[in-house]
Amino acid sequence: MRTLFAAAAIAVAACSTSTPGTPNQKVQIPAPAFEIRQLVGPAQLNYEEGPIEVKFRLDIGNRADFPITLSRVEIVTVNPEGAAYSLDTSHRAYYFRRTIKPHENASIDFWAKAYSYGRSTRESEPITVRGTLNFETPNGHYNEVFVKEIGQYAGQND
């Protein structure tokens, strides 16, 4: 009986305690304006078959009243094999430490490992990518999930 009473007292105490917000909590902020562009792809690399690196540019606009820091981008292709390229699934996360001031824009370039399928009837097919932008704010973290179609011809992503 005494053990049951002690367990009940601990459970009540644990449920009634609260802690102030920690930096690891998810926050609600105005969603950042976001666009992803491919700057270098198979066409710029002569449609070489095999491992390549694709250069992307992230354009991010901070709509919040406080700075946000891009800490990580996770990105994968969702196309079936045989399109212009597939991103390497063993390299999904790319790490950054780029702070964007309130109501300002930033462009961030990065290279992603991929496999190019060379010249084929599908070389000009748009690539569909799915990803998550991970931001840190003074009040916690914020994640923005995206799915984007990226054209393979010059000017399609402008």
Instruction: Provide the residue ranges of all domains of the chain, joining segments of one domain with +.
Output: 31-150
pLDDT at position 156 is: 66
As separate numbers, helices (DSSP H) first and strands (DSSP E) second, the chain gives: 1, 8
CA distances from 153 to 20, 49, 59, 74, 104 (A): 51, 18, 19, 24, 29
pLDDT at position 40 is: 92
pTM metric for this prediction: 0.78
**DSSP secondary-structure letter at 45?**
G
Residue with tokens 């367990």: 7
Q: Output the tens digit of pLDDT for each of the chain's 158 residues.
A: 555 455 455 544 444 444 444 456 778 899 999 999 999 989 888 888 999 999 999 999 999 999 999 999 999 999 887 788 999 988 889 999 999 999 999 999 999 999 998 887 677 788 999 999 999 999 899 999 999 999 887 666 66
pLDDT at position 157 is: 65
Q: How many CB atoms lie within 10 A of CB 64?
A: 20
pLDDT at position 65 is: 95
pLDDT at position 115 is: 93
pLDDT at position 158 is: 65
Topology (CATH level 3) of domain 31-150: Immunoglobulin-like (2.60.40)
pLDDT at position 1 is: 52
